[in-house]
Amino acid sequence: MKATLAAICLLSPSLALGSDDPLPSWNDGPAKTAVLNFVETTTTEGSTDFVRPSERIAVFDNDGTLWAEQPMYFQLLFALDRVKAQADDHPEWKTTEPFKSALAGDMKGLLATGKEGLAKVLAVSHAGMTADEFAGSVRRWLRTAKHPTTGKPYYRMVYQPMLELLAHLRSNGYKTFIVSGGGVDFMRVFAERVYGVPPEQVIGSSIAAKYELRDGVPTIVKLPEGLFVDDKEGKPANIYGRIGRRPVFAAGNSDGDKQMLQYTTIPRGVDDTTARFGLLVHHTDAEREWAYDRKSHIGQFDKALDDAPQRGWVVVDMAEDWNRVFAD
């Protein structure tokens, strides 16, 4: 009998772990309990909190919520790598800002060039090319680039507990969206494979694009204009514009997500008793990841942290609530 049981366990790892637990990387505690209860009550017919399948919209921030964002947004690291790769064709960059600082890896100097400087660096890697060329350059970078401190490929720095949460919501009829300050065209290159979120459910910052027939071939060209920043007030505005209905579940990790959580969870009036869920990932784990919040330049988490108790938002303590961080 023992041999048979061992054989079954080998064949079925989830049974071996003693669980049909949909969130095995989450420790037992108030955050995990709240998430599981919410999904159960909103999907059980007859429950007062039942949410019709068509209204089951869940939105997730990306940087710091689904994957890491330190020592700086990965998309900015991509942009800097692209500047370096093109530097030989632009000798003038050695002496003119913001490229001088970018090439020297001088982050302080680069940030001192302000939004305009950053926009110039981003323009080099993100505009003036076709959509296919851009996607190809992101794809090549993801395949080869390594994170500066962990040495891992960036696509391995996604949070296993959040992958489990995405999958659990989807298996209960929720449609999962990414709503991120990151560039929509950047995230779409990997979101389907890494998160299971198809391109049409990825929402992010964007620049204008134009369509043309180029030598008879339909071509989309990315333009250095028409920037929409999908952050803070921009998130609910973009959710309205692109999804067209209010989510019932929102997850973020920084002040940039505060308005998205407000939009998702605050009742519209006294009659509005729909169940809603706001979740915030608190980066408390300096050992396995990073510890930062109120004073961080990247992913500042201050006002949203203050608002969490009164709004009923669930704050996930990464060190306490997760028994595993990365998905690799």
Binding site for its own copies (CB under 8 A): 54, 57, 131, 175, 177, 184-185, 188, 192, 198-202, 206, 208-213, 216-218, 220, 233-237, 240-245, 259, 262-263, 266, 268-269
State the residue for tokens 């009923």. 312
Report in angstroms how near the CB of residue 30 gets to its own copies at its nearest. Answer: 26
Shortest separation between residue 234's beta carbon and its own copies, angstroms: 8
Indicate the residue among 30 and 136 with the shorter CB distance to its own copies.
136
Q: How far is the CB of 190 from its own copies (least distance, A)?
A: 12
Tell me how far, at minimum, the Cβ of 204 lies from its own copies, in Å: 10
Q: Dihedral of CA 83/88/93/94: which sign?
A: positive
Q: In the complex, what is the shortest distance from the CB of residue 319 to its own copies, in angstroms, rounded to a whole number?
A: 32
β-bridge mates for residue 201, sequence order:
none
* Smaller CB separation from its own copies, 2 or 268: 268
* CB-CB neighbours of 249 under 10 Å: 26
Pairing mode, strands 217-222 and 129-130 = antiparallel
Q: Which is nearer to its own copies, 105 or 199 (CB)?
A: 199
Output the smallest distance, CB 93 to its own copies, in A: 30
Smaller CB separation from its own copies, 246 or 283: 246
Closer Cβ to its own copies, 130 or 300, answer by number: 130
Of residues 23 and 239, the one with the C-beta less far from its own copies:
239
Residue nearer to its own copies on the CB measure, 140 or 193:
193
Residues contacting 149, CB < 8 A, separation 6+: 71
- Can the peptide bond before residue 98 be classed as cis, meaning omega within 30 degrees of 0? yes
Please count the CA atoms within 13 angstroms of the CA of 62 that sit on its side-chain side: 29
Rg (CA), the chain: 21
What single string gives the DSSP state of each residue in 159-185? BHHHHHHHHHHHHTTPEEEEEEEEEHH
* Least Å from the CB of residue 26 to its own copies: 28
* Separation between Cα atoms, residue 182 and residue 229, nearest integer Å: 9
> Angle CA(87)–CA(88)–CA(94) in degrees, nearest 5?
55
